[in-house]
Amino acid sequence: MVINLEWQERGPLQDDGQQIIYKGREICTPNNYPQRLPCHNPHCDHGGFEIGDRVVKLMASRKFSEENSLICVNAINSDREKRCLHTIIYTITSVSPYRRASDR
């Protein structure tokens, strides 16, 4: 099985709206996938997006893919100056290797 992660990181513009900051793609195995995707906000200290639990849930389910969004772990911070407003929109896809009818 192969895990395909794709995401777009978005951050606020000076005026209303958001801009795409970063686009990422990573091919992983069920034993080697990231727990956290990095945040590309230069003012964000040790932030990121907790994706590992989402991968585990997808592998445990009977689904082949999931699309959703996550906020940076620093979005919820008691110090308003340290809050990060970056988000990601992600897709996780689980791809099983092709099996011939004679292999079953």
Using one digit for the tens of pLDDT, what is the confidence trace for 18-72? 788 999 999 999 999 999 999 999 999 899 999 999 999 999 998 999 999 999 9
Confidence bin at 79 (pLDDT 50/70/90): confident
103 located within any domain: no
Query: What is the pTM assigned to this prediction?
Result: 0.84
- Assigned domain for 101 exists: no
**CB burial of residue 40 (10 Å; 0-12, 13-18, 19+):** middle
Place of tokens 């951050």: 11
In a domain, 104, yes or no: no
The string over 63-97, giving b where at least 16 C-beta atoms fall within 10 Å of a residue's C-beta and e elsewhere, is: eeeeeeebbbbbeeeeeeeebbebbbebebbbeee
Domain-embedded: residue 54: yes
Q: Kindly give, in sequence order, each residue whose CB lies less than 8 Å from that of residue 102, ignoring residues fewer than 6 positions away.
A: none
pLDDT attached to residue 99: 52
β partners of residue 67: 91
Query: Domains in the chain: how many in total?
Result: 1
The yes-or-no verdict on residue 104 having pLDDT over 60 is: no
**Residue scoring higher pLDDT (82 or 18):** 82
Residue-wise pLDDT tens digits, 53-65: 999 999 999 899 9
Residue 69 is part of which domain span? 2-95
